[in-house]
């Protein structure tokens, strides 16, 4: 089932007097329970496409349809609400809040997503997700005491705790070693299947493509 | 979730430093304010201790009380018709003690009134600061304009005028000393301003401005106080700005995952409120302690309402400073924060 559809999306950046077309009319559909990998050389437009799909920047032309609603017609507040409650994000760096424990990072995300769960149910959900990502033993740890792989696991937990419909993962293994990268990708793959999330993965690392259900190659702002 | 408190708990040293600076600046402001008020009391306690009301002097005295002479007819008319009205005079002068040492005083005489101490002819009631200079009850004091001696009848607390201790004397003695029959001023308490032919009305604030040196002294001290308040405002803004700059990446990520901008503003405001409240409470406590420990010769007077007024001003400028520094949060693009990498 298609959760998010990108229809003829174009993006033009103006560098002084020169207009540069980064995306030249991209069509893409993200389906529930599927990892879609976007690959391509640097500057091919894959990260720009991901950020437009995630509502982090506006397309110059075209439509982004989420759950049947055109996001390009929405206000900034409506897009923020979707980002908070329906989308999950994993970045190249974990970007955890340095003054919150692992448990608090996840509770914050539930708070941001305006969950209707009771306090007790929230704590149970945090425990459940931490078991899923193998981090329950570091529940009270602060980010500074976690390894790179552990931070990224917490970032994954934060991205899925509120049961998003779409997961955006932009180079999630770029700062990890080979072993940690495989573990993290396996986790993203498993979560996608278990929670029936539509995952859009941007990566340079071809070794990680074995975890994708669909591989889409981008060249010069177009899908091949 | 209380992000503000969790941030402060985890970064105690950083917030302690900012809080210490707020405390030091506010404490300094309270001390200077206490000294300004103390000097003001030292200059005009006699007038400031009177209840709310209006002072009247001759319209042609050019706002100089010691040039004012209120004629007897007008004085009698006012004293008979206005409840609580009192006529009084003030003159700067000297008293010589038994060792012939000269002491500068402000001679004050008044008609019967609860607001001015009354003495019999040949007696004097002095401000207690003269007691510290070796004058005792029963001492006979002299003045070169008065043939008779003045016997010290007692002391009153904190009655000063133009930085000189007040000496209450009888009207007859005053008349002999200064060779004037008329009083300089009339004070009518607890009323609105009234019109009397030939007299000019002054509120307490306006009358204080007619005291030589009072205005210049208070202007300088108030300028220092408000400079400190402005400097504190700038410090608030600069320190919160610096802390926010360090957290731009974090704020960007929080915005990317859907945290509302207003929640981030609330975080900054809460931190400002907690820091300022603790710093101001400490400043208020210590300045009250200072007022108890300060030597008697140091004029220090800081009332609770004056401190609360300053504390409110500090909180307002803290709020403005934190808000100005927080405006950059509005400008943060989540995308830029993501691309910046780990903070």
pLDDT exceeds 60 at position B125: yes
pLDDT score recorded for residue A99: 93
Contacts B338 to A, Cβ<8 Å: 51, 56, 91, 95, 170
pLDDT exceeds 80 at position A163: yes
**Per-residue confidence band for A138, with pLDDT thresholds at 50, 70 and 90:** very high
Give B317 or A80, the one with higher predicted confidence. Answer: A80
**Per-residue confidence band for B330, with pLDDT thresholds at 50, 70 and 90:** confident
* A87 to chain B: closest CA residue: B257
* % of chain B beyond a pLDDT of 70: 98
**Per-residue confidence band for B144, with pLDDT thresholds at 50, 70 and 90:** confident
- CB contact under 8 Å between A99 and B260, yes or no, is no
Contacts A81 to B, Cβ<8 Å: 258
pLDDT exceeds 70 at position B162: yes
Q: Are B251 and B325 in contact (CB under 8 A)?
A: no
Domain boundaries, chain B: 3-44+215-340, 53-189
Q: Which residues of B177-192 are buried (b: 16+ CB within 10 A; e: fewer)?
A: bbeeeebbbbbbbeee
* B336 to chain A: closest CA residue: A56
Q: What ipTM was estimated for this complex?
A: 0.82
**Per-residue confidence band for B191, with pLDDT thresholds at 50, 70 and 90:** confident
Class of CATH domain A2-223: alpha beta
pLDDT score recorded for residue B306: 86
Q: Does A215 touch chain B (CB under 8 A)?
A: no
Across the A/B interface, how many CB contacts are shorter than 8 Å?
64
Q: Which residue of B6, B249, B256 is in closest CB contact with A56?
A: B256
pLDDT score recorded for residue B50: 92
Shortest CA gap B262–chain A (Å):
12
The tens digit of pLDDT for each residue in A181-223 reads 888 899 899 989 998 999 999 998 888 899 999 999 999 999 8
Q: Does A123 touch chain B (CB under 8 A)?
A: no
Cα(A126)–Cα(A115) distance, integer angstroms: 13
In angstroms, how far is CA A206 from the centroid of its own chain? 18
- CB contact under 8 Å between B335 and A142, yes or no, is no
Shortest CA gap A1–chain B (Å):
24
pLDDT exceeds 70 at position B56: yes
pLDDT exceeds 60 at position B343: no
Shortest CA gap A129–chain B (Å):
18
Q: Which residue of B6, B338, B342 is in closest CB contact with A104?
A: B6
Q: Which residue of A56, A99, A100 is in closest CB contact with B335?
A: A56
pLDDT score recorded for residue B224: 85
Q: Does A115 touch chain B (CB under 8 A)?
A: no
The tens digit of pLDDT for each residue in A78-133 reads 999 999 999 999 988 888 999 999 999 999 999 999 999 999 999 999 998 998 88
Q: Are A185 and A173 in contact (CB under 8 A)?
A: yes
pLDDT score recorded for residue B340: 65
Position of tokens 């206000």? Answer: A75
pLDDT score recorded for residue B331: 81
Domain boundaries, chain A: 2-223
**Per-residue confidence band for A18, with pLDDT thresholds at 50, 70 and 90:** confident
Q: Are A53 and A168 in contact (CB under 8 A)?
A: yes
* B91 to B62, B177, B178, B206: CA distances (angstroms): 17, 10, 9, 19
pLDDT score recorded for residue A112: 93
pLDDT exceeds 90 at position B286: yes
pLDDT score recorded for residue A12: 92
pLDDT score recorded for residue A217: 93
Contacts A172 to B, Cβ<8 Å: none
pLDDT score recorded for residue B147: 87
**Per-residue confidence band for B1, with pLDDT thresholds at 50, 70 and 90:** low
- CB contact under 8 Å between B258 and A142, yes or no, is no
Cα(A19)–Cα(A30) distance, integer angstroms: 29
The tens digit of pLDDT for each residue in A23-53 reads 999 999 999 999 999 999 888 999 899 999 9
Q: What is the mean pLDDT of residues B295-315?
A: 86
For the beta carbon of residue B147, count every other beta carbon within 10 angstroms.
Answer: 9
Q: What is the mean pLDDT of residues B182-197?
A: 90
- CB contact under 8 Å between B6 and A57, yes or no, is no
């Amino acid at each position: 089932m298609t959760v998010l559809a990108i229809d003829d999306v174009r993006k033009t950046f103006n560098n002084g007097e020169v207009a540069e077309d980064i995306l030249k009319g991209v069509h893409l559909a993200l389906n529930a329970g599927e990892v879609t990998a976007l690959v391509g050389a640097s500057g091919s437009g894959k990260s720009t496409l991901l950020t437009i799909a995630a509502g982090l920047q506006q397309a110059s032309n075209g439509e982004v349809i989420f759950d049947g609603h055109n996001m390009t017609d929405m206000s900034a507040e409506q897009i923020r609400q979707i980002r908070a409650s329906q989308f999950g994000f994993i970045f190249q760096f974990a970007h955890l809040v340095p003054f919150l424990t692992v448990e608090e990072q996840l509770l914050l995300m539930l708070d941001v997503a305006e969950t209707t769960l009771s306090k007790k149910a929230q704590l149970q959900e945090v425990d459940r997700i931490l078991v899923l990502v193998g981090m329950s033993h570091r529940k009270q740890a602060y980010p500074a005491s976690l390894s790179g792989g552990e931070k990224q696991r917490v970032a994954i937990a934060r991205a899925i705790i509120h049961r998003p419909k779409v997961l955006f993962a932009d180079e999630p293994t770029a700062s990890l070693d080979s072993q940690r990268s495989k573990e993290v990708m396996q986790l993203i793959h498993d979560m996608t299947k278990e929670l029936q999330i539509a995952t859009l993965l941007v990566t340079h690392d071809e070794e990680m493509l074995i975890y994708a259900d669909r591989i889409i190659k981008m060249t010069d702002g177009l899908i091949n | 979730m209380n992000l503000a408190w969790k941030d402060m708990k985890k970064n105690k040293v950083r917030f302690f430093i900012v809080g210490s600076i707020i405390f030091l600046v506010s404490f300094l402001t309270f001390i200077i304010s206490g000294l300004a008020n103390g000097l003001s009391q030292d200059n005009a306690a006699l007038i400031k201790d009177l209840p709310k009301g209006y002072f009247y002097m001759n319209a042609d005295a050019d706002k100089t009380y010691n040039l004012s002479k209120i004629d007897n007819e007008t004085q009698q008319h006012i004293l008979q018709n206005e409840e609580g009205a009192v006529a009084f005079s003030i003159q700067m002068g000297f008293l010589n003690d038994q060792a012939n040492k000269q002491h500068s005083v402000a001679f004050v005489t008044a008609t019967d009134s609860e607001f001015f101490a009354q003495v019999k002819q040949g007696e004097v009631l002095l401000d207690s600061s003269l007691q510290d200079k070796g004058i005792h009850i029963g001492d006979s004091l002299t003045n070169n304009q008065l043939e008779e001696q003045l016997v010290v009848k007692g002391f009153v607390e904190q009655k000063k005028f133009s930085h000189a201790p007040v000496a209450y004397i009888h009207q007859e003695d005053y008349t002999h000393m200064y060779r004037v029959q008329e009083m300089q001023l009339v004070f009518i308490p607890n009323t609105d301003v009234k019109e009397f032919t030939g007299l000019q009305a002054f509120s307490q604030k306006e009358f204080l401005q007619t005291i030589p040196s009072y205005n210049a002294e208070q202007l300088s001290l108030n300028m220092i106080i408000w400079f400190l308040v402005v400097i504190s405002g700038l410090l608030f803004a600069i320190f919160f700005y610096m802390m926010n700059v360090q957290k731009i990446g974090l704020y960007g990520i929080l915005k990317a995952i859907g945290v509302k901008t207003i929640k981030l503003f609330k975080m900054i405001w809460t931190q400002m409120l907690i820091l300022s409240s603790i710093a101001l409470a400490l400043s208020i406590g210590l300045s009250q302690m200072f007022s108890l420990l300060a030597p008697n010769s140091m004029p220090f007077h800081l009332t609770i309402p004056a401190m609360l007024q300053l504390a409110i001003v500090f909180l307002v400028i803290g709020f403005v400073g934190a808000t100005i520094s927080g405006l950059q949060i509005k400008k943060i693009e989540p995308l830029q924060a993501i691309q910046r990498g780990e903070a």
